[in-house]
Amino acid sequence: MSILNNRRIVLGVCGSIAAYKVAELARRLTQGGAQVDVIMTEAAQQLVGKATFQALTGRPVFDDMWSLPEHHMVEHIALAVQAHMVVIAPATANTLARIATGMCDDLLTTTVLATTAPVLCVPAMNVQMYAAAATQENIAILRGRGFSVLEPEEGPMAEPMVGKGRLPEPETIEGEIRSLLGKHHGALRGRRVVVTAGATREPIDPIRFISNRSSGMMGYALATAARDMGADVTLISGPTSLKTPSAMTFVPVETALEMRDAVEAACSQAHILIMNAAVADFRPESVHDQKIKKNGTDGLTLNLVRNPDILGELAYRHNLFKVGFAAETENMLENAQDKLERKELHMIVANHAVATMAQSMIQVTLIDRNGATTSLPQQSKQQTAIAILDAIVTRLSPYIST
Ligand code: C5P
Burial of 241 (0-12, 13-18, 19+ CB in 10 A): exposed
Atom of ligand 1 nearest to the CA of 326: 6
Q: Is the pLDDT of residue 400 over 90?
A: no
pLDDT at 162: 81
Which amino acids bring their CB within 6 angstroms of ligand 1? 256, 275, 277, 279, 281, 307, 309-311, 324-326, 339
Residue 255 in contact with residue 236, Cβ under 8 Å? no
Share of the chain above pLDDT 70, in %: 97
**The dihedral sign for the CA sequence 12, 15, 18, 20:** positive
Q: How far is the CA of 115 from the centre of ligand 1 (A)?
A: 47
Give the pLDDT band (50/70/90) at residue 241: very high
Active site residues: 212
pTM across the whole model? 0.94
pLDDT at 77: 83
Q: Is the pLDDT of residue 374 over 70?
A: yes
Q: For a pocket test of ligand 1, which of 259, 309, 335, 351 has the largest count of ligand atoms closer than 8 A to its C-beta?
A: 309
Tens digit of each residue's pLDDT (9 = 90 or more) over 312-335: 998 777 789 999 999 988 999 999
Domain locations in the chain?
Answer: 8-179, 188-396
pLDDT at 67: 66
Question: What value does the mean pLDDT take over residues 357-369?
Answer: 91
End-to-end CA distance of the chain: 24
Task: Count CB-CB contacts under 10 A for residue 351.
Answer: 21
Q: How far is the CA of 278 from the centre of ligand 1 (A)?
A: 7
Q: How far is the CA of 378 from the centre of ligand 1 (A)?
A: 23
Classify 341 in phi/psi space as left (phi over 0), alpha (psi -120 to 50) or beta.
Answer: alpha
Element (H, E) at 236: strand 232-237
Domains 8-179 and 188-396 in one fold:
yes
b/e sequence 110-149, b meaning 16+ C-beta within 10 Å: bbbebbebbbbbbbbbbbeebeeeebeebbeebeeeebbb
Query: 163 vs 252, which has greater pLDDT?
Result: 252
Atom of ligand 1 nearest to the CA of 308: 21
Atom of ligand 1 nearest to the CA of 196: 12
pLDDT at 175: 98
Sheet of 8-13, strand order:
35-40, 8-13, 85-91, 119-123, 148-149
Tens digit of each residue's pLDDT (9 = 90 or more) over 214-239: 999 999 999 999 999 999 999 999 99
Q: How far is the CA of 341 from the centre of ligand 1 (A)?
A: 13
Tens digit of each residue's pLDDT (9 = 90 or more) over 258-290: 999 999 999 999 999 999 999 999 999 999 999
Task: Count CB-CB contacts under 10 A for residue 42.
Answer: 11
Residues 6+ apart with CB under 8 A from 363: 351, 352, 355, 356, 375, 376, 377, 378, 379
pLDDT at 4: 97
C-alpha separations of 199 from 69, 172, 227, 265 in Å: 56, 25, 22, 19
Burial of 382 (0-12, 13-18, 19+ CB in 10 A): middle
Q: How far is the CA of 207 from the centre of ligand 1 (A)?
A: 26
List the beta bridge partners of residue 313: none
Which of 223, 267, 266 is CA-nearest to residue 246? 223
Question: What value does the mean pLDDT take over residues 15-34?
Answer: 97
Tens digit of each residue's pLDDT (9 = 90 or more) over 117-170: 999 999 999 999 999 999 999 999 999 999 999 999 998 777 677 889 999 999
Q: How far is the CA of 279 from the centre of ligand 1 (A)?
A: 6
Burial of 388 (0-12, 13-18, 19+ CB in 10 A): buried
Q: For a pocket test of ligand 1, which of 259, 275, 335 has the largest count of ligand atoms closer than 8 A to its C-beta?
A: 275
Fold of the domain spanning 8-179:
Rossmann fold (3.40.50)
Element (H, E) at 228: helix 217-228
Residue 105 in contact with residue 111, Cβ under 8 Å? no
Tens digit of each residue's pLDDT (9 = 90 or more) over 38-83: 999 999 999 999 999 999 999 999 988 776 665 554 456 889 999 9
Atom of ligand 1 nearest to the CA of 312: 20
Give the pLDDT band (50/70/90) at residue 402: low
pLDDT at 76: 66
CATH number given to 188-396:
3.40.50.10300
